[in-house]
Amino acid sequence: MSEITFDELDRESILLLSKIGFWNKICLQKIAESHLLTQNDESVFNELKHLSAHVEYYIAYHKKNKRSFEFISKDMKNFD
């Protein structure tokens, strides 16, 4: 299973939905050098997401909880 860190995401362009709760603060702190493309309108966000040629999804969790999230990791590989 591959992993990605906040450091690897930093300085990338990232499409975000504006109302993502506590994740918004985490993104602003951990990937502050990224170009965050924040979208307020969910329908526009979904259209941009579908028009993207290639999208990679990642899940972030503490290493000690790895077993609890294995099913999500497997499902994400088949996510479209």
Residue 79, pLDDT score: 56
Residue 28 placed within a domain: yes
Domain residues for the domain of 33 are 6-77
Q: How many domains is the chain built from?
A: 1
Residue 73 placed within a domain: yes
20-38 tens-digit pLDDT: 888 888 899 999 999 999 9
Residue 61 placed within a domain: yes
Residue 52, pLDDT score: 77
Residue 42 placed within a domain: yes
Residue 34, pLDDT score: 93
| β-sheet bridge partners, residue 38 | 16
Residue 1 placed within a domain: no
